């Protein structure tokens, strides 16, 4: 009985160390997708990504606009330094195949690369994202 108990504790200790070695540096893309917005001639949409972090970690990602078919109309890879923001504008004329008297249905999509940090000792175990992303979409008239 004593030998079995020691073996279980040893296995648990090694499995915990294996998880700790795999998790740091794991990367995933977090997606913020806004609902469709109608844009007419003379209007534009602006999507913004702000980095509210002051820890020195940049937000890396992509700002894009997709049409009603889900096809990407316009996109750009970006990097946002701490306490800064970046905006990306879609003019009505950027949407292909739309008549000047029609309404273009588009939606903004923001993808932010998240890199998970190490294990936090206090207040408890957990993962820390590398930046603090804040997103928004605004409609600009008379551009």
Reduced 3-state DSSP string for the chain: CHHHHHHHHHHHHHHHHHHHHHCCCCEEEEEEECCCEEECCCEEEEEEEEECCCCCCCEEEEEEEEECCCCEEEEEEEEECCCCEEEEEEEHHHCCCCCCCCCEEEEEEEEEEEECCCCCCCCCCCCCCCCCEEEEEEEEECC
pTM equals 0.70
Over residues 104-136, the pLDDT tens digits come to 999 999 999 876 654 433 344 444 446 788 899
Q: Which residue has the higher pLDDT, 69 or 14?
A: 69
């Amino acid at each position: 009985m004593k030998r079995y108990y020691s073996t279980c504790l040893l296995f648990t200790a090694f499995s915990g160390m294996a998880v700790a070695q795999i998790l740091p540096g794991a990367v995933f893309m977090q997606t913020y997708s806004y609902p469709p917005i109608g844009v007419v001639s003379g209007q534009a949409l602006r999507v913004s990504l702000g980095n509210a972090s002051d820890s020195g970690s940049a937000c890396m990602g992509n700002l894009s606009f997709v049409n009603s078919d889900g096809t990407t109309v316009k996109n750009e890879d970006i990097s946002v330094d701490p306490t800064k923001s970046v905006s990306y504008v879609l003019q009505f004329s950027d949407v292909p195949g739309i008549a000047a008297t029609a309404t273009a249905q588009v939606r903004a999509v923001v993808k932010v690369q998240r890199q998970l940090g190490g294990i936090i000792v206090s207040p408890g175990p957990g993962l820390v994202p590398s930046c603090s992303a804040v997103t928004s979409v605004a409609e600009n008239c008379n551009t």
